[in-house]
Structure 1
Amino acid sequence: MQARYIQRGESIDFLPDRDIAAGEIVIRNGLIGVARIPVKKGTLGSLALSGVFDVTKPVRCAFSVGAAVYWDTVRQSAVTSGEVLLGLAAESSKLNDSHVRVILNSGGITINNNEATLNWQTIN
């Protein structure tokens, strides 16, 4: 057997090395997720790897529907460019909005020149 099914992929178990707050965005070796509930240091917890989340953003950033949303690990907010891709904007977000609605870890994203394209799979 080359593979054995373990669980659905919407979330994964993790063991934090510090207390994690509910709603905190966690990056583990390039894997990004959201803690849905608080998790104490050294206690088995769960990270959401998919779903739609309202994520804080600076007022200087605006997003159109389908735009790539990145995570700024220093400022702890969503931004329009960066190294850590969070997902795609599920709806537009204006400059003065405090958050952007994000489809977390949207599969099938292609990034070219900082432009995100969602690749849809069709059923024949």
Structure 2
Amino acid sequence: MKNFVQCGDTLTLPAPYAVNSGDAVLVGKIFGVAVAAVANGADGEFKTNGVFDVPALGTDVAAVGAALYWDSVNKRLTTTAAGNTRVGVAVAAKANGAATARIKLDETVA
């Protein structure tokens, strides 16, 4: 197909802040996980689908299938929808006190 560009599993995006490999970012309505370290404002490669362990609010509890949201202020996942952007679902239970949540990234961020 002559108009095909790419699969979209990995996108080149401008980092909204300096990130290390494995750090998550929200760029507009695109949520991704950095493939490598990227300087603030520089273009880098970000995975936009798949399953990742991402920092999360320690006091949150999430069952498998629970919606997860990105807290852009604290740069972590949360189960709190208000003021945050939905970015995926929990694919493993997250207990109170756990510092990360296992998330399957949404294909489209709402």
Larger-gyration structure (1/2): 1
Indicate the residue corresponding to 1:81 in structure 2.
Answer: 80
State the SS of the aligned residue for 1:13.
strand
Cα distance between partner residues in 2 of 1:39 and 1:88: 26
Q: Residues 16-95 of structure 1 correspond to what in structure 2 (within 5 A)?
A: 16=15, 19-41=18-40, 43-82=42-81, 83-95=84-96
Deviation at 1:43, TM superposition (A): 4.8
Identity score, percent: 27
Deviation at 1:97, TM superposition (A): 1.4
CA RMSD, 1 decimal: 2.5
Amino acid at match of 2:4: Y
User: Relative contact order, CA 8 A, sep 6+: which one is greater?
Assistant: 2
Deviation at 1:42, TM superposition (A): 6.0
Cα distance between partner residues in 2 of 1:43 and 1:58: 27
4+ residue runs of structure 1 moved beyond 3 angstroms?
15-19, 40-44
| TM-score with structure 1 setting the length | 0.74
Deviation at 1:105, TM superposition (A): 1.6
Amino acid at match of 1:12: L
State the SS of the aligned residue for 1:69.
strand
Cα distance between partner residues in 2 of 1:63 and 1:14: 29
Long gaps (5+) in structure 1:
112-124
Long gaps (5+) in structure 2:
none
Q: Would you say the 8 A contact 2:15–2:25 is kept in 1?
A: no
Q: How many residues align?
A: 108
